């Protein structure tokens, strides 16, 4: 078994243990392998070990990887999870399956306008600045519902839910608080009649807390692929 395959198995086991601890079905939590700065060969190795969903933070790097793995395109799901500038929305709308970090209507409108008619709707999540950090992207919690209503009405997009990257905490109880707030926000959207089902939250250091509070997608990179190389 390769190192990547062994790491994937360890992460899958950890997800299973966390969901069991939370009284949830492991099938309710999807593993998104964060492949930024990872070579196409390593992505292929992860695919060969059973992983099909991959997350990219940088537009050009992601596009290069999608092209390099074109023979697997029908079997891979590509998620764009980084901040997205308005001048880079077109290739993301054309090539990716999901976008996790929408924080303003202009980006969503451009993705909708630029999504090719022949493709399924682009799955999107709104990024919430749940910890109120000045350095973080994301819409303020009290503005989420208004933005969600507008994004949900756009053609060629499907609003799936919410994403967050809370401020790092070591204490498990402190980790759970922002994730609980995210779960409550998703409930608010549902009560407003929006068809949403996704909480993209939790990384290697706080995945267990996120799963305890209802995460449906966890974004794991270094625990699968090892320490990242510095990006040029």
Q: What pLDDT digit, counting tens, does each position of 137-174 carry? A: 899 999 999 999 999 999 999 999 999 999 999 998 99
**230 assigned to some structural domain:** no
Burial 181-193 (b: 16+ CB within 10 A, else e): bbbebbeebeeee
End-to-end CA distance of the chain: 31
Question: Is 166 inside a domain boundary?
Answer: yes
Grade residue 132 by pLDDT with cuts at 50, 70 and 90: confident
Q: Is the dihedral of CA 92, 53, 62, 141 positive or negative?
A: positive
Distance CA 195, CA 180 (A): 20
Rounded to the nearest 5 degrees, what angle is found at the Cα of 130, between the Cα atoms of 124 and 136? 80
Residue range of the domain that includes 123: 3-225
For residue range 40-55, list pLDDT tens digits in order.
Answer: 999 999 999 999 999 9
User: What is the rounded average pLDDT of the residues 186-211?
Assistant: 97
**pLDDT-based confidence at residue 133 (cuts at 50, 70, 90):** confident
pLDDT digits (tens, 9 = 90+) for 56-66: 999 999 999 99
Average pLDDT score, the chain: 96
CATH code, domain with 40: 3.20.20.10
φ and ψ at residue 202, rounded to 5 degrees: 105, 125
Residue 85 lies in a domain: yes
Q: Domains in the chain: how many in total?
A: 1
Count CA atoms closer than 13 A to 97's CA, side-chain side: 13
Give residue-wise pLDDT tens across range 101-129.
Answer: 999 999 999 999 999 999 999 999 999 99
Is a pLDDT exceeding 80 seen at residue 76? yes
Percent of residues, the chain, with pLDDT higher than 70: 98
DSSP class of residue 139 equals: B
Task: Determine the average pLDDT of the residues in 23-51.
Answer: 97
pLDDT band for position 12 (cuts 50, 70, 90): very high
pLDDT, one tens digit per residue, over 169-184 is 999 899 999 999 999 9
Residue at 10 is within a domain: yes
- Burial of 41 by CB count in 10 Å (0-12 exposed, 13-18 middle, 19+ buried)? exposed
Using 50, 70 and 90 to split pLDDT, how confident is the model at 229?
Answer: low
Percent of the chain clearing pLDDT 90 (strictly above)? 94
User: Is residue 232 in a domain?
Assistant: no
Q: Find the length of the chain.
A: 232
Q: Is residue 220 part of a domain?
A: yes
DSSP H stretches of helix in the chain: 3-21, 40-48, 59-68, 89-95, 105-114, 144-152, 172-191, 207-212, 222-225
pLDDT at residue 35, as a whole number? 98
């Amino acid at each position: 078994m390769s190192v990547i395959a062994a790491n994937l198995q360890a992460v899958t086991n950890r997800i299973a243990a966390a969901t069991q601890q939370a009284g949830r079905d492991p099938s309710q939590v999807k593993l998104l392998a964060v492949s930024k700065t990872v070579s196409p060969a390593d992505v292929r190795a992860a695919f060969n070990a059973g992983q099909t969903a991959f997350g990219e933070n940088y537009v050009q790097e992601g596009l290069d990887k999608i092209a390099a793995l074109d023979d697997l395109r029908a079997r891979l799901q590509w998620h764009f999870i980084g901040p997205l500038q308005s001048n880079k929305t077109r290739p993301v709308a054309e090539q990716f399956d999901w976008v996790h970090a929408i924080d303003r209507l202009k980006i969503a409108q451009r993705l909708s306008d630029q999504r090719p008619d022949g493709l399924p709707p682009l799955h999107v999540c709104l990024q919430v600045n749940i910890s109120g950090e000045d350095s973080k992207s994301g819409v303020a919690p009290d503005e989420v519902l208004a933005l969600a209503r507008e994004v949900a009405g756009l053609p060629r997009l499907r609003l799936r839910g919410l994403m967050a990257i809370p401020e790092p905490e070591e204490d498990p109880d402190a980790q759970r608080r922002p994730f609980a707030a995210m779960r409550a926000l998703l409930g608010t959207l549902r009560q407003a009649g929006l068809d949403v089902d996704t909480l993209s939250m939790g990384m290697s250091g706080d995945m267990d807390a996120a799963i305890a509070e209802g995460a449906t997608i966890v974004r794991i990179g270094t625990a699968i692929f090892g320490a990242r190389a510095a990006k040029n």
